Structure formats: C-alpha cells, structure tokens
Amino acid sequence: MIEETIRASGKFQVEIKSDYRLDLNREHTAYSIETYAFVPNSLDVNQDTYPKYLFYRDTQTYFRCRIPIILLQDIAADGSTTFDLLQKSMQGVAGGGSAAVLRDCENQVRLFCCTLKYSIKYHVELIKAAATPADAGHLAKYFHTNIMAILRRFRKAGKKAGLSSMDKRIRSIYAYADEYISIFVSQYAFDILEATRAFSGDNTKGYRQLLLDLVREEDAYRAATGYPSEVAAGTDNEAFIYRRGVLKRMMESILFLDTTVRAEGRITEQIVFSLAAGVAMMFATAVAFVSQQKYGNFTMAFFVALVISYMFKDRIKELARLYFNKKVQGTILTGKGGSTEVSVSAGWVTPGRASCSCPKAT
C-alpha cells in the first residue's frame, strides 16, 4: 500500500513524499502512481501560461532508502550490529584494500551516521510525546547515557582500527562523520531542552543540566579538534549553518538511489510525424493533379495552385503532427508508457516497513 504526504518546501516548492512497501521475496516490484493537481483559475495557471514541458522540467524525482529504527540502547550495547559492521569495514581497509573495499568502508561510515541520526530523532519524538514530566526526564537521561557511550565508542573505533594508516579519503570521511554526529547530537539535545521547557520543578533540573553540559562539551570538542563548525554567540552563524547543510548532504547521499529514466514512444513519435507528412502530401498531390488536368502544364494558374497547395500542405502537416502527438502523449501520461529504472549502489535490506529494497552491504 502506498502512503503519501504533501508539504510546502520553501515559498515556491511543494514536496510530495510517497512511502511504499516492497515484497522482499520478489526480485522486481512494479507500481504506478497517479497524481492530480487542482489549481484555482484565479492563479492563471493553464496550458498556455505553464506548458506541459515546463511542468516536467520543474519536477524533480528522488528515490531513497528508509532508515531502520534502532533503539539507542541497542546501538550503544556491546555486540551492536551497527558498530560491528562499521569496525569490520574499517579493519578491512587498515592495510590498504581494493577500490571496492574502500568504497564499502566509506558507505558504512555514512550509513552509521544516518542510522544514528534517525534513531536519535525517533527517541526525541518519544520525549515530545511523553505523558508526564517524569517520563520525559527518564527518557532524557536515557538519551544522555547512551549518546555518551556511542560517542566514546565511535571516536575510539578509528584509533582501534588504525585510522592514521588508512587511505586519505577514508580518514577524511571519518572526520566529516565525527563532525556531523557532534553537530546533530547538539541539535537534538536542544530540541529536547525546548520540548521540556514547559516542565518545571527540581526533577527537571538534573537532566536539563546534563543536556546543557553535553552541548558545551561537543562545542568544545569541535573547537579543539579543529572542525570549522563553531558556534559564536551574537552572530548569525551563517558559516555553521552552511557547514551543517554540506555535511548532511554528504552523509545522507548514501540513501539516495541512482535512477535512469528511459523515454518511451520514440518509434511511435516518428510514425506520427510520418502520418502527418503523408496526410499533407496527399492534399498537395491531389491539388497538383486537379490543377494539371484543369489548367494544363507550365501555366501561371497551375503555378499559383502549386504554391497555394504547398502553403496548405505545410500547415496541414503541422496541425496533424500536433493532433497525433497530443493523442500519443495522452496515452503515455495515463500510465501506458514511460518507465524509470532504479539501480542501487549500496545499502541494506530493511526488515518490515521500508521505502525501498537495497542489497545488504558487505
């Protein structure tokens, strides 16, 4: 079953998100989506002011994997599959490795960031939905304990695997991932503080102070490590916001799938043009035969008739081409033509509910 959500993305864009399940037991899954947009006449948006080709030119389509939700406790625990995959891939490139091994390690680092981020996001939603201040406080302390354990383990993993002797690109990706994790941990810590602002009492002071200390520690860590994402009080922090956006695109790009759009109907299009030319030629030839019989050869009347027939032939050809082409495009847009292939470069199979099916990275 396909589920859709729609929201405004800025002042001039609309985002439609479709979430669908795949049958993991099937090699191929086919689906079709019909979307109808109703625009008020007062906006003056019609086929003359906004032609079809402009609409498709402005439309962008992306396919991405859905991140599995893993509890923070499971990520921080000993024997965590998330950490095991990361450490295994890093150990594989410690002594060099092929291009495929290096690429797999890079993908695992990015996947770790995405998994951790969306697990934290899920936990923050639980805190926002807490029924009582005590429940929110318990979840906030749970967040702090597990995040501290995950940060320590992630930063030790590089040293344990011999990061300094690895390929330069792997060292760079690992540093970017470390900076990105630090940024969004601070961001979600602020979200928890904002969500629990309405709670008052001594029972909230403890975990709120823990979260504030966590934010200060991460800010100091990024400054000490030399990461450019420093926050300065009293400024717009434009550089920080830009840096955060760049790191987000870098890490989460692993979730987007490569798509290949194949245009269908090329042979049909040529047949349509040939039919239009044939209809126009039939008219011109008929006029030439009739004129020749009536006026004879090499006469001024016959010459004028040929010129006029050519003028009408050109217009008939164009009108017939537009007519047949419109009919064919209507058939394609109703779902009887056009196709998109989705190819996967890296990822994993998400159990249960998923937005796509990806081969498990090794």
Instruction: State the DSSP H helix or E strand holding residue 335, giving kind and residue range, or none if neither.
Output: none
Q: 124 near 53, Cβ under 8 Å? A: no
pLDDT on residue 278? 79
Average pLDDT on 183-195 reads 90
- Does the structure show a pLDDT above 60 at 227? yes
Average pLDDT on 221-229 reads 89
pLDDT on residue 345? 38
The pTM is what? 0.68
Instruction: State the DSSP H helix or E strand holding residue 316, giving kind and residue range, or none if neither.
Output: helix 300-331
CA–CA distance, 104 with 120 (Å, rounded to integer)? 24
pLDDT on residue 200? 60
Residue 225's alpha-carbon distances to 112, 178, 187, 219, 255, in angstroms, are 21, 10, 19, 10, 28
Average pLDDT on 27-39 reads 79
CA–CA distance, 31 with 342 (Å, rounded to integer)? 13
Task: State what percent of residues in the chain have pLDDT above 90.
Answer: 14
pLDDT on residue 181? 94
What region does 141 belong to: left with phi over 0, alpha with psi -120 to 50, or beta? alpha
Residue 333 pLDDT level (bands cut at 50, 70, 90): very low
Q: 348 near 362, Cβ under 8 Å? A: no
CA–CA distance, 176 with 246 (Å, rounded to integer)? 10
Number of neighbours of residue 169 by Cβ within 10 angstroms: 13
pLDDT on residue 186? 92
Q: 177 near 251, Cβ under 8 Å? A: yes
Highest mean pLDDT among 13-22, 68-77, 182-191, 312-321: 182-191
Bigger pLDDT: 13 vs 233: 13
pLDDT on residue 146? 92
Q: Is 121 helix (H, G, I), strand (E, B) or coil?
A: helix
pLDDT on residue 331? 53
E strands, the chain, where?
Answer: 3-8, 14-19, 258-262, 339-343
Average pLDDT, the chain: 78
Surface-to-core class of residue 327, CB atoms within 10 Å of its CB (0-12 exposed, 13-18 middle, 19+ buried): exposed
Q: 80 near 102, Cβ under 8 Å? A: no
Average pLDDT on 96-123 reads 87
Count Cα neighbours of 220 within 13 Å in the Cβ-side half-sphere: 6
140-161 pLDDT tens trace: 889 999 999 999 999 888 777 7
pLDDT on residue 329? 62
349-360 pLDDT tens trace: 333 333 333 333
82-95 pLDDT tens trace: 888 888 888 777 76
pLDDT on residue 264? 63
Residue 201's alpha-carbon distances to 123, 133, 196, 198, 311, in angstroms, are 23, 9, 11, 10, 88
pLDDT on residue 169? 84
Q: What are phi and psi of 80, to 5 degrees?
A: -65, 130
pLDDT on residue 263? 64
CA–CA distance, 174 with 179 (Å, rounded to integer)? 9
Highest mean pLDDT among 5-14, 90-99, 296-305: 5-14
Bigger pLDDT: 311 vs 122: 122
Task: State what percent of residues in the chain have pLDDT above 70.
Answer: 85
pLDDT on residue 177? 92
Bridge-based pairing of strands 258-262 and 14-19 is unpaired
pLDDT on residue 334? 43
Average pLDDT on 28-39 reads 79
Bigger pLDDT: 87 vs 344: 87
pLDDT on residue 176? 92
7-17 pLDDT tens trace: 888 888 888 88
Chain centroid to Cα 323, Å, comes to 37
- Does the structure show a pLDDT above 70 at 332? no
Residue 358's alpha-carbon distances to 90, 138, 339, 341, 348, in angstroms, are 21, 36, 20, 14, 5
CA–CA distance, 99 with 81 (Å, rounded to integer)? 24
- Does the structure show a pLDDT above 50 at 29? yes
